[in-house]
């Protein structure tokens, strides 16, 4: 028996392939949108992918379970509580999957979502591992506030937090201390708030080191779990629904994206609709020199998918611009991870601009901070009691488009974050909204941090 862990660093996501050596069969858990890595692994191992297990309908990425079912006849397993729209086999507490020398047992572990399950792997009569999805992370547990909608009491964060308390103590903590914990996410995900950098652990280690498994009352636990959670990107509810329905074939959907001609001059830009937002992914130093109106400088960094899905609402059309064909191809592929390829009006290479960004006099800012309105676009959970500037306004980047009117325009505006990525996006967004000079402090923020 072999367990192969796959990591998507951009979404801090782990997926798994469980291989039975004697039957040469593979079961996948929580696969990413593009299934090619799993198909390659199966070929490398001379094995067959027989099934896919979804621990819950994911909010932060799109799964390839339906494509794998259609492409290689893999059976899809999920909790009946998920109520998916595709053909599946229910996998809930008491249900078992056996293939070759591997036995997989389901545990219903609600808390992150009402339909979450964990999967216990037994080999040679002994529990070896548990795949915990977004229930138990290394150093943390899943947040309970992603499924709140309307007046459904069962989806309220306090209700799900109580269920998480029970799932951890009455289900997962009862497993043997030697059982290896394989979560669906690591540090950097927005599905939790205090994850470790480690990609696995054991039940025994987590009992000692994980705050959520410590001795505390349910009331104390609920209060701790529901406080200081990070923001919820706009795309999360959309991805839950898409995963319940089943996403279209990865390559077929990507092939439908319209590729526009390279824009090198004014004539080349005539096909653009001025009402459609341009997501300009070029480096900020290039963007600041020349860019087009109604554009946001969202660079192709580590968390591009998260910020794209935070700034663009599901269903809103947008242009995707990049510095060259290679970068454009990669970023188009990355949009598929959150199901946003279908919203691209056109994708194109950009080497032109009619606009330029104002240049900040850093020394003047240092000497005369009172002459500027300073805007902090970090998230509230990052701040605590630590503001960088004595007087500043705090509006998180995901809320900037709806709250920009709160920003005074009697002085030039300086935008900052923690490192320069979000301030580039925020300042470029405000250039389109405010009738005043807007500056990006960029990575010069380090000069002001103690």
Confidence at residue 384, expressed as pLDDT on a 0 to 100 scale: 66
Among 291, 259, 294, residue whose Cα is nearest residue 275: 294
Looking at the structure, tell me whether residues 80 and 147 fall in a common domain: yes
Q: In what order do the strands lie in the sheet with 25-29?
A: 2-8, 13-20, 25-29, 48-53, 75-78, 89-90
Which CATH number fits the domain that encloses residue 121?
Answer: 3.60.15.10
Residue 357 domain-assigned (yes or no) = no
Domain of 369, CATH number, reads 3.40.250.10
Neighbours of 51 (CB within 10 A): 24
Q: Is 198 part of a structural domain of the chain?
A: yes
Considering 187, 205, 238, which residue would you say is the last residue of a domain?
A: 238
With bands split at pLDDT 50, 70 and 90, how would you rate the model's confidence at 150?
Answer: low
Look at residue 110 and tell me whether its pLDDT is greater than 90: yes
Q: Is residue 329 part of a domain?
A: yes
Tokens standing for 410?
A: 């009697």
Q: Do 319 and 293 have their domain in common? A: yes
* 232 and 269 part of one domain: no
**52-56, 301-305, 373-377, 446-450: which has the minimum mean pLDDT?**
446-450
Residue 279 belongs to some domain of the structure: yes
Confidence check: pLDDT of 449 > 90: no
Beta bridge partners of 415: 375, 440
pLDDT for residue 146 is more than 70: yes
| Confidence (pLDDT) at 234 | 95
Q: What is the mean pLDDT of residues 38-61?
A: 98
Q: Are residue 124 and residue 147 in the same domain, yes or no?
A: yes
Output the pLDDT for position 385.
59
The predicted structure's pLDDT at residue 382: 78
Instruction: Count up the domains in the chain and report the number.
Output: 3
> Same domain for 169 and 258?
no
What percent of the chain stands above pLDDT 90? 90
d(CA 9, CA 40): 19
Of 238, 267, 291, the one marking the end of a domain is: 238
Please check whether residue 356 lies inside any domain of the structure. Answer: no
Instruction: Give residue 389's domain range.
Output: 362-447
Q: In what order do the strands lie in the sheet with 373-376?
A: 393-394, 373-376, 413-416, 438-440
Indicate whether 354 belongs to any domain.
no
Do 199 and 260 lie in one domain? The reply is no
Confidence of residue 148 (pLDDT cuts 50, 70, 90): confident
Q: Are residues 300 and 177 in the same domain?
A: no
Please indicate, yes or no, whether residues 403 and 270 belong to a single structural domain of this protein.
no
pLDDT of residue 155: 84
Do 369 and 433 lie in one domain? The reply is yes
Q: Are residues 52 and 173 in the same domain?
A: yes
Is the pLDDT at 218 greater than 80? The verdict is yes
How deeply is 44 buried, as exposed, middle or buried, from its count of CB atoms within 10 A (0-12, 13-18, 19+)?
A: exposed
> How many angstroms separate the CA atoms of 150 and 10, rounded?
31
Average pLDDT over residues 286-294: 97
Question: Do 231 and 291 sit in the same domain of this protein?
Answer: no
- 355, part of any domain: no
Mean pLDDT of 292-296: 97
Same-domain pairing of 27 and 169: yes
Q: Which of 94-108, 140-154, 350-364 has the lowest mean pLDDT?
A: 140-154
Instruction: Note whether residue 157 is domain-resident.
Output: yes
As a whole number, the mean pLDDT across the chain is 95
Question: Could you tell me the end-to-end alpha-carbon distance of the chain, in angstroms, rounded to an integer?
Answer: 51
Residue where a domain terminates, one of 296, 321, 349: 349
Give the pLDDT confidence score for residue 228 in this predicted structure: 86
Yes or no: say if 274 and 294 are a contact pair by the CB < 8 Å rule: yes
Nearest-angstrom CA–CA distance, 436 and 398:
21
DSSP class per residue in 282-318 = S-HHHHHHSB-SSEEE----TTHHHHHHHHS-TT--E
Asked whether the predicted pLDDT for residue 190 surpasses 90, the reply is no
């Amino acid at each position: 028996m072999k367990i192969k862990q796959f990591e998507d660093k951009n979404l801090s996501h782990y997926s798994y392939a469980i291989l039975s050596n004697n039957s040469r069969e593979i079961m996948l858990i929580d696969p990413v949108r593009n299934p090619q890595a799993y198909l390659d692994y199966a070929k490398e191992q001379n094995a067959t992918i027989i099934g896919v297990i979804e621990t819950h309908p994911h909010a932060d990425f799109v799964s390839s379970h339906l494509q794998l079912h259609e492409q290689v006849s893999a059976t899809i397993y999920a909790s009946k509580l998920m109520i998916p729209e595709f053909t599946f086999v229910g996998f809930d507490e008491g249900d078992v999957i056996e293939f070759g020398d591997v036995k997989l047992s389901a545990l219903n572990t609600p808390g992150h979502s009402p339909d979450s399950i964990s999967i216990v792997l037994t080999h040679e009569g002994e529990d070896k591992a548990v795949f915990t999805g977004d229930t138990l992370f290394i150093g943390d547990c899943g947040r309970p506030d992603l499924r709140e909608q309307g007046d459904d009491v069962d989806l309220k964060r306090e209700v799900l937090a109580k269920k998480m308390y029970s799932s951890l103590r009455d289900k997962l903590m009862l497993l043997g201390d030697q059982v290896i914990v394989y979560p669906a996410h690591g540090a950097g995900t927005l599905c939790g708030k205090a994850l470790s950098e480690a990609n696995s652990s054991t039940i025994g280690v987590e009992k000692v080191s994980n705050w959520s498994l410590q001795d505390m009352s349910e009331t104390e636990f609920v209060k701790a779990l529901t406080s200081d959670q990070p923001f919820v990107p706009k795309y999360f509810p959309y991805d839950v629904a898409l995963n319940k329905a089943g996403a279209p074939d990865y390559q077929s959907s990507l092939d439908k994206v319209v590729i526009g001609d390279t824009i090198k001059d004014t004539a080349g830009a005539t096909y653009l609709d001025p009402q459609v937002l341009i997501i300009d992914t070029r480096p900020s130093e290039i963007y600041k020199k020349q860019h087009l109106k109604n554009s946001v400088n969202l660079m192709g960094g580590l968390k591009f998918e998260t910020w794209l899905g935070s700034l663009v609402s599901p269903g809103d059309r947008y242009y995707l611009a990049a510095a060259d064909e290679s970068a454009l191809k990669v970023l188009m592929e990355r949009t598929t991870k959150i199901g946003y390829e279908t919203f691209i009006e056109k994708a194109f290479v950009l080497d032109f601009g009619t606009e330029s960004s104002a240049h900040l006099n850093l020394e003047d800012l240092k000497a005369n901070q009172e002459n500027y309105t300073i805007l902090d676009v970090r998230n509230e959970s990052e701040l605590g009691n630590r503001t960088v500037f004595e007087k500043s306004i705090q509006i998180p980047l995901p809320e900037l488009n709806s709250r920009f009117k709160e920003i005074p325009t009697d002085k030039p505006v300086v935008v900052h974050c923690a490192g320069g990525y979000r301030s580039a996006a925020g300042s470029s967004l405000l250039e389109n909204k405010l009738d005043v000079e807007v500056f990006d402090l960029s990575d010069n923020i380090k000069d002001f941090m103690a």
